Structure formats: structure tokens, C-alpha cells
Amino acid sequence: MKAIVLVGGFGTRLRPLTLSRPKQMLPVGSVTMLERVVSRLASHGVDTAVLSLGYQPDAFIEQFPDDICAGVKLVYAVEPEPLDTAGAIAFAARSAGVDETFIALNGDVLSQIDLSALVAAHRDFGGSATIALTQVDDPSRFGVVPIDDTGRVIEFVEKPEPGTAPSNWINAGTYVLEPSVVEMIPKDQKVSIERQTFPALAAAGELFAVQSDGYWIDAGTPEAYLQAQLDIIDGINGSGESLVDATSVVAQDASVDRSAIGAGVVIEGGAQIVDSVIMAGSTIGAGSRIERSIIGGGSLVAPNTRLSDLSVVGYGETLGVGIDAAGGIFPGPDDWNV
């Protein structure tokens, strides 16, 4: 089976980390976010993944020069301009010649949704599209999907006002689609699958959904991106794995607690790293404390620095001596040049 992976977004919520690369190229442990997503596809029999590209497409092509990721063949479909979710799926399907039932999913979602069961349910339903659903406490940021007792979608409510949602089961960003869905999407036009395509399919009785209690996280914000790594360390997503790279150097009197430490990272004497992500090639100066924060690759954090409360440091940054920041952003928005 083929899958289309949506990876064309600008990643604005994860700036400044995404100023120099797409968010799916950010590391989650020792591999990129995309590799985690594609590896999951591979475990359910997907042999070809079509990447729907937009923002910085060369980053993907350079990362996988053999066009193979996690054992899956990659095909690239580069949008000439942003086409929104349905437009991007249709463009990628047409570009790659996808003409059978296929999976489509967001490339910034890490999950344990049973894709094989989702495909089987789709075939049993006999409809045009089947959506995986996940349950959240606050559905107002998502597409809410109430269903009847047969699994048929009653309506598709995109980002309802707080307190008005008809359900807390939301669109998990993973779909099984028939080629007929592609045919109904106009060529080379901006079309939202959440606001246009799915509501039209629901009205026609052709949209179904499956509720899933498997692990799920949209890793597109700093808080969620950090949490995704902590969930791997804690065994909430998977069986638990160390995300401290073997090539990192941690001083004897430094400490690393519940954190992801990339290749070649240096943690100098007396530094404390707690619930954080330190990407490859960065150095954390002596006596610093980095707590619940994210340090981009190749950055230099001077001694005695204090970062906490989702502070984010971009790639290749240098932080001077004595910075004490809670929720700090380096560089700040005024220096983003976007």
C-alpha cells in the first residue's frame, strides 16, 4: 500500500527551530520526526511513501539521497504553491500516480494508531473515506467528528468554539482514502480536507471514522514536541528508550535527567539538564541549568545560563554569559527575517 505524508507546512509554531529546516526534519531522539512516522507506516505494510512537499523541499531530498526512509521507498511531490490539506493530498496522488486505496496522514503526528485495523475497517464500511479519531480533553483546536453507531460520520466540525463541541473525539490526521476522493478535489486549487472535502463526504454519507485509544500527539508546538520525546523516554509511546546519544560527552559532575541529548553534545562540569532536548553538536557551559527547554543543534550556551519554562534556542545560536530566562526565545521574532 502507498501512503501520502503531508510535510509541506512552514512549521510556524515551532520557530525559531524551523527557520532553517522543516519541522519533520527536527530530531526525535536519534532520528528525524519523519523517520518515526515512516517507520510506523512500514510496520503496517506500507512500501511507498509520497512526501507532499512545500517548505524547504531540498531538506528532505538531501536527508534521504537514496530515496529510502526506514525501508520505505520515497516519492517526492513538490507543490508549486501551498494547496492546503486536500489540495496537497490530491496533488501528491496525481503526481505519483496513486490509483488505489491509500493512507494519508500528517507528518507531524506521532501515534500508535493501528493502521492495519483502520484499513480493514475502511474496507468493511465500503465508503469513500475513513478517519482515525483520537480523544482529547479540549477539542476546540481540532476537527471534531461525531459518529453514529455504524461508524458513519454525522458531521465534521472544524475547530468549534470552546464548550460547543458535540464530542471530544477529534480528527487524528490519519485517513484511508479511495481514488474517488482525489477525483472530487479540483486540480491545482487550494482546498481544505477538513473544511471542504470531509463535510461534503459526510453530507453524502460516504465518510466513516474509527475511534482509537492508541497513543497520539501532534508534535507541532514546542510543548508537544518536547512532550513527544519525554513520552518515548517514559515508555508512554513505545517500551521506553534512552535518548542520550552514545557520542555525547557529559562531565562527571554534570547531570542529565529525563532528557534527549543528541550526537556530539558536550555538557560541561556542574551543568544540569532536566526534561529538555539538546540537539546534536551543542555545548552547554559549566554550571548552567536547562530545564524543560529545547536547544537547537550546533548552539553554544555559555556557563551559568538558566533556561526554563519552554525556552527555545534556534540552530547555531550563541547565548552569552549570565542569561536567566523563563520561556525565552532565541533569536526572538524581531530577528526572524520571515
> Of the residues 2, 23, 73, 159, which is catalytic?
159
* pLDDT on residue 284: 97
- What pTM did the predictor assign? 0.92
* pLDDT on residue 157: 82
Tell me the CATH architecture of domain 2-223+228-233.
Alpha-Beta Complex (3.90)
* pLDDT on residue 303: 96
**Catalytic residue list contains 190:** no
Those residues with Cβ within 8 angstroms of residue 197's Cβ, 6 or more apart along the chain or in another chain: 86, 181, 184, 185, 191
* pLDDT on residue 35: 95
* pLDDT on residue 87: 96
Domain ranges of the chain: 2-223+228-233, 244-335
Distance (Å, rounded) from C-alpha 109 to C-alpha 3? 14
* pLDDT on residue 166: 84
* pLDDT on residue 292: 98
- With a cut of 70, list the residues of the chain below it in pLDDT: 338
Does domain 244-335 match CATH 2.60.120.510? no
* pLDDT on residue 175: 97
